[in-house]
Amino acid sequence: MSGLRIGMLFSMVIGMPVMAQDISEGERLYQHRCAACHGLDADGAGPMSPVLLLQPTDLTQLQRKNGDEFPLERVIWRIDGRDPLISHGSPMPVYGDFFEGRGVTVKNQSGQPIMTSQPIVDLVTWLQSIQQ
């Protein structure tokens, strides 16, 4: 799926202009903050995965494993810590400081608003673009 089409789909979900997301910034954030556990290809096989008690999720399969609908709210909440995940004996690293930024409101599939930050919107936009 093209980046523009992903942006347009995401815009319909969150009600923001297409250009409000920066997919390249999302990929940069992923490579810098997430790839060590989730892998360079987001397949869950990062270099840190062998030492984790719970194996990282294959992030390319989020939509497929959720009835072919991207789990927007769950992904945002998992990243920002509102939906904690125990891994390696402690919560998934909550990157509050790393993902702080301009506050934005996105809408979930049912139209309910979700408060988050622009960096998380960028990261989630990139995650949507890599779904298989």
Tens-place pLDDT, residues 60-93: 999 999 999 999 999 998 888 777 766 545 556 6
Q: What pLDDT does residue 96 have?
A: 57
Q: What pLDDT does residue 126 have?
A: 97
How would you write 55-89 as a 3-class SS string?
CCCCHHHCCHHHCCCCCHHHHHHHHHCCCCCEECC
pTM of the model: 0.77
Is the pLDDT reported for residue 19 higher than 50?
Answer: no
